[in-house]
Amino acid sequence: MKHTSTSRRVVVTGSECTGKTVLTAGLAEYFDCPSSPEGARLYVEQHNQPLTVADVDPIASLQITLEEAAIRKAHDLVIHDTDLVSTLVYARHYYETSPAWITRTASERAADLYLLCDINLPWVSDGLQRDSGSAEQRRQIHEKFVEAMTRGGLRWTLIRGLGEKRLEQAVRAIKGLA
């Protein structure tokens, strides 16, 4: 299912505890545009139990639904807190699976720009994470995001720094889309 709008789409992505949700909210406010939340986070909050391979398809479907709701509100730009690329990275990492329909749909729905949040922020547990926050684990998953975006031929940039510096860097990257 391809996305349904001609608006520019930007995805804030990366491993757990890298500031994606905060950055998504800041960008949506800065550009006064709609945004979509992370499907996996909402799914975990709704089900309140450890995820299994059986959850991959419903998470992907929820992600698409959330993105489409934001896209319908967009005039020129929409910001997504993750997309199907993230779903695939985690499905491969945890369950060694890449459902064909998700792989195909992720390619068809590729955003105009991916902002990959670096792992330079401190780990802050919010009880929803699957990972432990170890430096090695964060590095491994971060590298899987880089590999997925590079292999998929996606346009992406690394977002580093803290607070306003991080937001300013992301704003510059989005303004460079024009």
Q: Where are the domains of the chain?
A: 8-175
Both tokens of residue 28?
A: 């949506």
Asked whether residue 1 carries a pLDDT value surpassing 70, the answer given is no
Mean pLDDT of 1-26: 86
**What confidence tier does 23 reach under pLDDT thresholds 50, 70, 90?**
very high
Choose between 121 and 8: higher pLDDT: 8
Letter for the amino acid at 84? L
Per-residue confidence (pLDDT) for residue 137, from 0 to 100? 86
Pair 8, 2: CB distance under 8 Å: no
In 3D space, the residue among 139, 114, 141, 138 whose CA is nearest the CA of residue 125 turns out to be 138
Predicted confidence (pLDDT) at residue 130 exceeds the cutoff of 70: no
How many residues are present in the chain? 178
Compute the average pLDDT of residues 46-68: 94
Q: Cα(101)–Cα(21) distance, rounded to whole angstroms?
A: 26
In CATH, 8-175 is 3.30.1490.100 = no
- What's this model's pTM, rounded to 2 decimal places? 0.93
Residue 139 is given by DSSP the state: H
